[in-house]
Amino acid sequence: MTNSDWTPDQPLVSIKDVHKSFGDLEVLKGVTLDVRQGEVICIIGPSGSGKSTLIRCVNALNTIDSGSIKVEGIEVNDPALDKLELRKNVGMVFQQYNLFPHKTALENVMMAPIKVLKQSVEEAEERARVLIKRVNLVGKENSYPGELSGGQQQRVAIARSLAMNPDVMLFDEVTAALDPETVNEVLLAIKDLAQDGMTCILVTHEMGFAREVADHIYFTDRGVIVEHGPPSTFFTEATDPRTQEFLSQIL
């Protein structure tokens, strides 16, 4: 479901001058960015800069104090928002995977389409198997999350979000809790997604990945976007001193 005024040539996700405070602490101080359909956006920055908060506002996990977030023309900062409809179009993958421990991998992926989209069990199961194959986890369908490694769990989490057929996928530091060997397998799955044309917004520290896959990189610090640009210029021609300092620390 989208707003009838929205057309694919307009940005899929449009964030305008968003402010968000937790009590007295102002975490987002006027953030503006646009994401077009099919784009891969990476948001980088030091911890506390508000990037996780920002991404969580897009699917209404956090409410914003002022400003506007539009997903396919639907205003998120609207008290009358139908959150369930919004979240059918926006998928999210978390740093802590958050798989349902009492269900197998296949069931994790199948559950939402059956319960929320009201698909039949056969249809959901077939699609789930396709998605599990896509993230390279054939053979692990009947394993419980406790039996899977971190990287495998994260890939199940990606498959689970994809099962809802979202128009945009949000990734909140999804590789931060993984050890270096398994980071790669998850990044490969995301790269595969991106190359298939999925609109992705990633909060990440993986600069190599950002350089390779992203269409646009945003650097946030202390609640504002300091600088942004395509990877071809961002890493080499950063002008703001804060950006340069951050890049020098991590590259």
Partner 1 sequence: MKSISKSGKASRDRFNATDLAVLKPFKYNQAGQVQDLQFSHWLAEFSPRSLLIIALLFLLWPGLAMAQSNYSFAQALDALWRWLPFIVTKGFLLNLIVSFLTMFIGTIAGVLLGLGQVSPLRPLARLSWLITQLFRNSPWLVLLFIVMLALPFEIEIGGEIYPIPDWLKAVFGLALPIMANISEIVRGAIVSVPTGQWEAAESLAYSRQQTLWMVILPQCFKRMIPPWMNWYAILTMATPLISLLGVEEIITLSRQAMEAEDNHPELLVPFFGFALIIFFAYCYPIARLTIRLEKRFVVRQ
Q: Which residue has the tokens 């009201």?
A: 118
Note whether 22 binds partner 1 by CB under 8 A.
Answer: yes
Question: Judged by CB under 8 A, how many residues of this single chain contact partner 1?
Answer: 32
**Smallest distance from the beta carbon of 236 to partner 1, in angstroms?**
34
Distances from the Cα of 203 to the Cα of 7, 34, 64, 81, 137, angstroms: 26, 15, 18, 25, 24
> Which residues are within 8 A (CB) of 36 and not within 5 positions of it... i.e. 6 or more apart?
11, 12, 199
Query: Residues 162 to 201: which contact partner 1 by CB under 8 A?
Result: 164
Give the C-alpha separation, 100 to 107, whole Å.
Answer: 9
Note whether 160 binds partner 1 by CB under 8 A.
Answer: yes
Note whether 98 binds partner 1 by CB under 8 A.
Answer: yes
Give the C-alpha separation, 248 to 111, whole Å.
Answer: 44
Task: Tell which one of 43, 90, 187, 214 touches partner 1 (CB under 8 A).
Answer: 90
The residue (of 94 and 246) whose beta carbon lies closer to partner 1 is 94
Write each residue from 111 to 150 as x if it is in contact with partner 1 (CB under 8 A), else as -, in one continuous string. xx--xx----------------------------------
Residues that bind partner 1 (CB under 8 A): 22, 27, 52-53, 56, 59, 61-63, 83-85, 87-88, 90-92, 94, 96, 98-102, 111-112, 115-116, 157, 160-161, 164
